[in-house]
């Protein structure tokens, strides 16, 4: 029997509530998150050997070798779910398919030259969510998701580049990484994937389980699986364009005009004179619109930020929320809240803008009691809430979020 079957799953712990960002971390090769952000983030690659010390410690102590927290069989099963974004990539020749996949479609570990990619795994497995919590020294608004890649020998997605930062954590088997800071990022138009036309390797390493490689945006890279069942866990960060952010902010700003009653007033022009240029937009209309625009302060960033925060808090398209089958009434909810932790559903996203909190695209602190606002602030910062300070919860956004399945109690 191969050593693959004689290993035990690694159990990643969740990050502590208060991350020691000034202390050295093994995750970054012995430097602190503060120094990492200053010297490496969006600047240059970082290779961290033994980023997860548990793997090398198990080997040194002669313990059973550690493997990925999620086995091949479970990943194949997840790839068949409608709410999991999955892709199957095969080389020689290059082929690309979108999931969901039937079990018979995914190649066995014995076959070479294939890769199965599963996005958003933090919403489907607690181990992935725990790994993601390690990176909360970077703003939540920048976080995209955790993708898992499992491959047969020779599996990979070809030399490519990403427009965002990525942490590549080796979780099972070995992977060879080749990288380049080349300026030529042109793609091969003849292939079904975004593969670089002229990749020229400048550095290369073989990553063992527990190693990690950080790459800033636009660093060309190519990863090849050297072992069957090779797993790489990729923590990716979103990098929306200014166009995207402004469009989303403006769209939500337009929606917010519904809350300004005086804008329902009709345009009137009792002083309009007879004109010889009827085809021209009237100056009186322009003048009155200018006055309204000045009142809205559209030239100030504060007008856009609520819409931007709401947009960045939206869950992924595949997210599905199912409320509790036997929902607690408001009194039972409050009793539970004093004894158990209330947490965001794995699919839920929460962001704060000052004292306002946005959950799954909604401002959940708008028109809420001060204690409810405080509760949401705690949920946003700590990702859990346990309190006996609340009362009159019926009709509050907190209770409604629980009924909608956005918030769930720890079992």
- pLDDT tens digits, 272-297: 999 999 999 999 999 999 998 888 88
Residues 169 and 40 in one domain: yes
Mean of the per-residue pLDDT values of the chain = 94
* Whether the predicted pLDDT of 204 surpasses 70: yes
Asked whether residue 371 is assigned to any structural domain, the reply reads: yes
Asked whether residue 163 is assigned to any structural domain, the reply reads: yes
The mean-pLDDT minimum among 5-14, 17-26, 107-116 falls in: 5-14
Residues 92 and 224 in one domain: yes
- Contacting residues for 194 by C-beta, under 8 A, at least 6 apart: 160, 187
Cβ(26)–Cβ(50) below 8 Å: yes
Q: How many folded domains does the chain comprise? A: 3
* Whether the predicted pLDDT of 206 surpasses 50: yes
Asked whether residue 292 is assigned to any structural domain, the reply reads: yes
Asked whether residue 405 is assigned to any structural domain, the reply reads: yes
Residues 41 and 104 in one domain: yes
pLDDT band at 23 (very low <50, low <70, confident <90, very high): very high
Residue 4's pLDDT is: 46
pLDDT band at 382 (very low <50, low <70, confident <90, very high): very high
pLDDT band at 60 (very low <50, low <70, confident <90, very high): confident
Asked whether residue 324 is assigned to any structural domain, the reply reads: no
Q: Up-side HSE of residue 231: CA atoms within 13 Å toward CB?
A: 25
Residues 257 and 199 in one domain: no
Residues 99 and 184 in one domain: yes
Residue 148's pLDDT is: 98
Residues 213 and 262 in one domain: no
Strand order in the sheet with 220-225: 203-207, 175-180, 220-225
Residues 38 and 134 in one domain: yes
CATH number at residue 155: 2.60.120.650
> Which residue range forms the structural domain that includes residue 157?
3-237
Structural element, H or E, at residue 306: helix 305-312
Cβ(182)–Cβ(123) below 8 Å: no
Asked whether residue 340 is assigned to any structural domain, the reply reads: yes
Burial 2-17 (b: 16+ CB within 10 A, else e): eebeebeebebeebee
Strand order in the sheet with 362-363: 350-353, 356-359, 362-363
Asked whether residue 372 is assigned to any structural domain, the reply reads: yes
Distance of CA 237 to the CA centre of its chain: 6
pLDDT, average across residues 48-72 = 93
Q: Which residue, of 179, 214, 237, is where some domain finishes?
A: 237
Residues 198 and 162 in one domain: yes
* Whether the predicted pLDDT of 108 surpasses 70: yes
Residues 86 and 58 in one domain: yes
Residues 219 and 286 in one domain: no
Residue 296's pLDDT is: 84
pLDDT, average across residues 401-406 = 97
pLDDT, average across residues 326-337 = 95
* Whether the predicted pLDDT of 411 surpasses 80: no
Residue 299's pLDDT is: 78
Residues 164 and 39 in one domain: yes
Cβ(224)–Cβ(156) below 8 Å: yes
pLDDT, average across residues 174-181 = 98
Query: What's the pTM?
Result: 0.91
Residues 249 and 229 in one domain: no
Asked whether residue 18 is assigned to any structural domain, the reply reads: yes
């Amino acid at each position: 029997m191969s050593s693959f079957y004689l290993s035990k799953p690694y159990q990643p712990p969740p990050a502590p509530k208060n991350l020691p960002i000034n202390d050295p971390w093994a995750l970054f090769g012995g430097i602190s998150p503060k120094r990492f952000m200053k010297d490496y983030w969006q600047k240059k690659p970082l290779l961290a050997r033994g980023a997860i010390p548990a793997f090398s410690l198990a080997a040194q102590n002669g313990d059973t070798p550690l493997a990925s927290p999620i086995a091949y069989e479970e990943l194949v099963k997840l790839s068949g779910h409608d709410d999991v974004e999955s892709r199957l990539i095969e080389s020689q020749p290059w082929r690309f398919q979108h999931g969901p996949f039937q079990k018979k479609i995914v190649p066995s570990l014995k076959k070479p030259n294939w890769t199965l990619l599963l996005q958003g795994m933090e919403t489907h497995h607690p181990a992935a969510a725990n790994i993601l919590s390690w990176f909360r020294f970077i703003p939540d608004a920048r976080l995209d998701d955790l993708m898992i890649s499992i491959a047969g020998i020779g599996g990979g997605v070809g030399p490519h580049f990403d427009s965002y930062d990525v942490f590549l954590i080796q979780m099972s088997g070995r992977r060879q990484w080749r990288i380049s800071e080349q300026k030529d990022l042109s793609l091969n138009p003849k292939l079904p994937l975004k593969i670089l036309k002229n990749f020229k390797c400048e550095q290369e390493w073989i990553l063992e389980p527990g190693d990690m490689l950080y790459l800033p945006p636009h660093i060309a890279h190519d990863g090849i699986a050297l072992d069957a069942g090779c797993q790489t866990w990729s923590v990716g960060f979103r990098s929306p364009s200014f166009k995207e952010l402004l469009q989303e902010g403006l769209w939500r700003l337009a929606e917010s005009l519904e809350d300004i009653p005086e804008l329902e007033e009709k345009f009137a022009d009792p002083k309009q004179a007879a004109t010889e240029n009827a085809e021209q937009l009237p100056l009186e209309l322009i003048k009155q619109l200018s006055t309204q625009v000045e009142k809205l302060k559209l030239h100030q960033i504060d007008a856009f930020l609520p819409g931007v925060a709401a947009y960045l808090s939206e869950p992924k398209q595949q997210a599905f929320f199912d409320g509790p089958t036997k929902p607690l009434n408001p009194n039972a909810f409050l009793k539970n809240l004093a004894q158990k932790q209330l947490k965001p559903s794995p699919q839920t996203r929460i962001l704060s803008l000052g004292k306002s909190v946005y959950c799954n695209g909604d401002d959940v602190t708008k028109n809420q009691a001060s204690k409810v606002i405080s509760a949401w602030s705690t949920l946003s910062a700590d990702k859990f809430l346990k309190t006996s300070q609340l009362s009159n919860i019926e009709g509050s956004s907190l209770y409604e979020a629980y009924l909608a399945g956005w918030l769930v109690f720890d079992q």
